[in-house]
Structure 1
Amino acid sequence: MSRIRNFETLVFGKLRRPSPTGKVHRGAFWLFLVYLAFGLLSLLPGSWGDTCTLVADIALLALIPLCLILFLRWIFGHFLWKVRNRLILTYLLMGLAPVVLFVTLAAIALYMFSGQFAIFAGNAESNAELMKLAAQNQVFAMHVANSLTAGKVSKTISLPEAKDLLAAGEFADTRLAVFVDGNHEALQPASLNASDLQTLPKWVGSAPFQGLVLDHDQLYLRAVDTAMAAGHRVTVVSSMPLEDAEVDRIAAGLGSAMIWPSRGTELNDPKDGGIHVRVVGEPPAHGKPAASMDVPHDAIVGGQLPAKQHFYDIPVAFYGPLAATDWATGNLHAHGANLTMQSRPSLLYARLFNYQQLLNASNTMGSVVRDVLIGIAVLFGLLELVAFYGAVRLNTTITQSIRDLYAATEAIDHGDFEHRIQVKRRDQLAALSQSFNVMTASLARLLEEQREKQRLQSELAIAQEVQANLFPQGNVRLASLEVHGFCLPARTVSGDYYDFLQLGDDALGLALGDISGKGISAALLMASLHSAVRAYRFAGEELISAGTVALATGGRTANGEQEIECGELFEEPAKILSLLNRHLYRSTQPEKYATLFLAHFDADASRLTYSNGGQLPPLLLRANGAVERLDRGGTVVGLLDNMVYEQDSMQMHAGDILIAYSDGVTEPENEFGDFGEERLVDVVRRHRHLPLEVISGQVMQALRNWIGVQEQPDDITLVLARAGRMEA
């Protein structure tokens, strides 16, 4: 499979085109190769060449629809990529396509109506000729009947009235047959006799008859009238053979006409005299059509199609059946004959309104209707132009808005957040552009906020690194005390504080505090507290106040004032809390304070002296499992001035564990309540023989299990100290 891919990549690389990815594209490529290969192999002689030709043809047939799909994809991907082109296509499909379909339907309907009207007009003309013939035949019948009644009939019957008609030419082709009591009688003049009509068929009765008849493969307009005279039954038959001259009269003013008898399948078999219809071309100068309808061998053709009067005066050819009676049997056939008319809309329009003029005695109706139709057409054209102009304007509005949006997105992509779209309209696209401007301003503001946030995060990272350096680094070792502590901030920096201060080789100071609040302000106050505690450790301070004179026991005097060495001061944590309380009260805002636990451990005596300034009481877990709370001290530090704190001391034995913690250890809660001191003591008790780092890890794991997926609510700080002789 990889080789095929490599081959495709190689070929399209040579053509400098991207290699095909879709199934259709790849299938078309391989079918094209198959077509080329077998097309060349088809040049081989014999059956091999024929087989290769067949395979090449099959490949070509399969390739064509795939190429069509690829072409449509190319059209949609390139030509229709622009919204303008899509809108134009949409307008064409929604606006022009229905118009084209409607116009096409109207043209087809008009053509059908025109053709049907031409057939109707041809039928009307033939019926008019038939009615004239029937009226004349009735006159002849009355003349013969009167002659019989008067006893003037001899061997021949004379019709002097017919001479005038023959001379006038109106019935020049008319032939008569007279039957008296069913016997054929001769007529004078002899030219009136219908030589082919010597007997009456049995179906002819006393009722008059007129119609188109088929007699011995010849079409006639025939009328039959019967009268009784002197006890004799007189039947007169007038026949007009349907020939070119008669068809000329029928087609007069309509164009050209063709009539031929139906003979079963001959109607549909052009070889045997069926219908052939071909549009007549323009007549040459001499007036004869350049091309005419293909006609059956026995068809009668008459009339002539005139030249067109305007460009849309197209030829209209239409077919219609004619009812004809079989003269031998009297059976009426609805499709006994066929009529094909070839006309023009101008002729049919004139014919239609000529009849209307005859009916309404108005010579202006046709022109009025024509002018009204032209006016309506002009009005519709103007409306179409207005609609087209509106569509162009609407299309321009939409595409301009999209171009503006596209240009704006490119400007923003290049970092120009000051770019704005000029909004001059009040529509949804204008609202979209306005919304885009608002979004751009919001993006610029958010990016500025993001940069500020990144700057703050960078500063917080530095603050976190600085704060991490404030906590004890490395292990603090005493011969009889093992200590460990950790702090996990709820945010980037912590407001909790713990410290180990080694006071020589046989003493250790412990500090654990919690600053009110969280975040940067708490961290800054924590740093201030840390610095103050360290300052009292590594420097001296003159205490000049009446309230601190009593604290100067064992100090040196200079210039009448007492001076205290802070290393000795740490042996009494209550004094340190008093000094820190004064420092925080005077250097911080009123709402800022801290809770602080201070302790001094004397390794020689294995004695712990402490004072608690509002901190959660640390717990002393004895080796025998008993728990003592270290709650001696006073209120929080820095809230009130001139506070005095108490202190206490207790003996620590081997295996005793001091547990000092912040509220972030015991106050996390879930649906079962707070974590609490009991769970903390239980975790330490179960792992008391393990290293302090492991014990603190177990406490942290228990806290995570208790909190679950919730966010850590507060800073977590834990200090553990275990008494006992440490191994070297």
Structure 2
Amino acid sequence: MDQERRIKELLLLQRSAQKLNLILDLEVLLEEIANDVGETFGYLRTGILLKDNESNELEIAAVRGWTKNYHIKGDRFKIGEYGIIGQVAATKRTYYAPDVTIDPYYKVSEESTRSEVDIPLMINERLIGVFSIQHHETNAFDQARIHLLESLAANISIAIENARLFRSEKLERERISNELKDARNIQLHLFPQKSPELAGFNINGICLPCLEAGGDWFDYISLGDGRIGIVLADVSGKGMGAALLMSSTRSMLRLVADKESSPGIVLKLVNELLIKDFPTTKFVTIIYAILNPNNKTLVIANAGHLSPVLSDVSGTILLNTNSGLPLGISESIFGETEIKLSSGDKLLFYSDGVTEAMNKSEEEFGTERLIELVRMKSLTVNDVINKVKEYTAGHPQSDDITVVMIEAE
């Protein structure tokens, strides 16, 4: 009979352990432990108390079968000072009171309790709490049953630690996610909030970071005399690091552009600043142009960026802009290309997130598709984005996508 009981209890122990290890929500887990142990092993009162390391106290985290006459969930007890649980927490050893009415450590938690066993919950010799079980009969726990409960307590400790780690990782993921969302919102506010109003021209831009924040950006800079600076750039790398470098480069460019009228000189001066400040493995590809609506000229300087696509009466081509080195690598001189925009002409700046976007067959969108797209009449920057999304359907976005289009009316 004892052997049959032992086998039954071991099966119950296995079932309880398997069930507990599937629960990763700490609050749910603790309630499940208190209820499941009572129902499985027939105990009227069970409780889980967790250690608060800062206050060196035990706090009731889950209970079953206790009334509110003495203690409720959330009550705290000093380790080593209060009752059997305090003694167990202090010694880190199981304590059994076969008759609580004569036990020197016992403190009343229920009038009808007659025997109690308390087991420390340990992880690598570190106390994390106490597992308390009470019965209304004296001598209710034999040695075999106590050993069984100690085995269960070991499983409970692991389950609690796993749930805590899961909660900690979840909170950390949420913290990082919230910070990235904040960074994205800040970055989005650094982008132009509206298109510039420039007589004879329509200028529009859009940026879609592949992560919450990224290294692509575009900008419009009012330069006086009706002129406007137009920027599209891509900091190497992705995520928060690239976004921070983007913000820094944007500030430098705006500061220099306000004082210099030559796009090539602006890039040269910004480059000199970045060489001093940028990490050695980072760089920026950038195209910076100044549009003068009075004579409809556009002067372009290019630092390692992709050639823009020009569409005019003679056709649609990649415009050779005498590209220099990306910014932040070494000292360099940046040439300038000047074009005159006539009615109906359009010029498209874009990042490599457009041409290198891949479909599910891992084929790139490519330059030829982009040129064909720019040939379309009444093209908008949203059309470009939508065509890229359509092409890459089923394949996740792997890089920031940024487009700026300048169109002469």
Do these two structures clear the TM 0.5 threshold for a shared fold by scoring above it?
yes
Structure 2 counterpart of 1:453: 173
State the alpha-carbon separation in 1 of the partners of residues 150 and 312 from structure 2: 78
1:609 to 294, 299, 304: 299
State the alpha-carbon separation in 2 of the partners of residues 472 and 397 from structure 1: 68
- 1:468 deviation in Å? 0.9
Report 1 or 2 for greater relative contact order, CA contacts < 8 Å, sequence distance ≥ 6.
2
Structure 2 counterpart of 1:16: none
State the alpha-carbon separation in 2 of the partners of residues 606 and 389 from structure 1: 99
Residue 621, structure 1, aligned to residue 306, structure 2: no
- 1:390 deviation in Å? 3.0
Structure 2 counterpart of 1:674: 364
Structure 2 counterpart of 1:409: 33
Residue 659, structure 1, aligned to residue 379, structure 2: no
Residue 636, structure 1, aligned to residue 249, structure 2: no
State the alpha-carbon separation in 2 of the partners of residues 704 and 627 from structure 1: 23
State the alpha-carbon separation in 2 of the partners of residues 463 and 408 from structure 1: 40
State the alpha-carbon separation in 2 of the partners of residues 620 and 533 from structure 1: 25
State the secondary structure of the residue aligned to 1:633: coil
Any idea what the Cα deviations from partners look like across 1:402-454, whole Å, max 9, x if unmatched? 789687624598599945779x99x9998876555334322211211111121
Q: Which amino acid aligns with 2:33?
A: T
Q: Which has the higher strand share?
A: 2
Residue 723, structure 1, aligned to residue 408, structure 2: yes
2:339 to 647, 650, 670: 650
Q: Which amino acid aligns with 2:308?
A: P
1:421 and 1:437 in contact (8 A); partners too: no
2:272 to 582, 587, 607: 582
State the alpha-carbon separation in 2 of the partners of residues 649 and 683 from structure 1: 24
Structure 1 pair 668–421 and aligned structure 2 pair: CA distance change class (3 A): farther
Q: Which amino acid aligns with 1:508?
A: I
State the alpha-carbon separation in 1 of the partners of residues 206 and 8 from structure 2: 70
2:399 to 699, 711, 714: 714
Q: Which amino acid aligns with 1:643?
A: S
Output aligned runs, 1:396-545, within 5 Å.
409-410=33-34, 411=48, 414=62, 418-419=128-129, 434=154, 436-538=156-258
What is the CA RMSD across the aligned residues, in angstroms? 3.1
State the alpha-carbon separation in 1 of the partners of residues 382 and 131 from structure 2: 59
- Aligned-pair identity (%): 29
Residue 597, structure 1, aligned to residue 287, structure 2: yes
Q: Which has the higher helix share?
A: 1
Structure 1 pair 407–685 and aligned structure 2 pair: CA distance change class (3 A): closer
2:321 and 2:336 in contact (8 A); partners too: no
State the alpha-carbon separation in 2 of the partners of residues 474 and 520 from structure 1: 25
State the alpha-carbon separation in 1 of the partners of residues 253 and 405 from structure 2: 20
1:659 and 1:719 in contact (8 A); partners too: yes
2:358 and 2:395 in contact (8 A); partners too: no
Any idea what the Cα deviations from partners look like across 1:500-519, whole Å, max 9, x if unmatched? 11222521111110011000
Any idea what the Cα deviations from partners look like across 1:553-576, whole Å, max 9, x if unmatched? xxxxxxxxxxxxx1xx1x311111
Structure 1 pair 396–611 and aligned structure 2 pair: CA distance change class (3 A): closer
State the alpha-carbon separation in 2 of the partners of residues 399 and 669 from structure 1: 54
Q: Which amino acid aligns with 2:295?
A: A
State the secondary structure of the residue aligned to 1:478: coil
Q: How many residues align?
A: 299
State the secondary structure of the residue aligned to 1:450: helix
- Structure 1 stretches lacking a partner, 5+ long: 1-387, 539-565
Structure 1 pair 612–445 and aligned structure 2 pair: CA distance change class (3 A): same
- 1:525 deviation in Å? 0.4
Q: Which amino acid aligns with 1:389?
A: D
State the secondary structure of the residue aligned to 1:721: strand
- 1:470 deviation in Å? 0.5
Any idea what the Cα deviations from partners look like across 1:338-359, whole Å, max 9, x if unmatched? xxxxxxxxxxxxxxxxxxxxxx
Structure 1 pair 680–435 and aligned structure 2 pair: CA distance change class (3 A): farther
Q: Which amino acid aligns with 1:495?
A: G
1:420 and 1:437 in contact (8 A); partners too: no
State the alpha-carbon separation in 1 of the partners of residues 251 and 402 from structure 2: 19
- 1:455 deviation in Å? 1.4
TM-score when normalising by structure 1: 0.38
TM-score when normalising by structure 2: 0.66
1:689 to 369, 373, 378: 378
State the alpha-carbon separation in 2 of the partners of residues 672 and 589 from structure 1: 31
1:623 and 1:654 in contact (8 A); partners too: no
State the alpha-carbon separation in 2 of the partners of residues 713 and 696 from structure 1: 19
Structure number, greater radius of gyration: 1
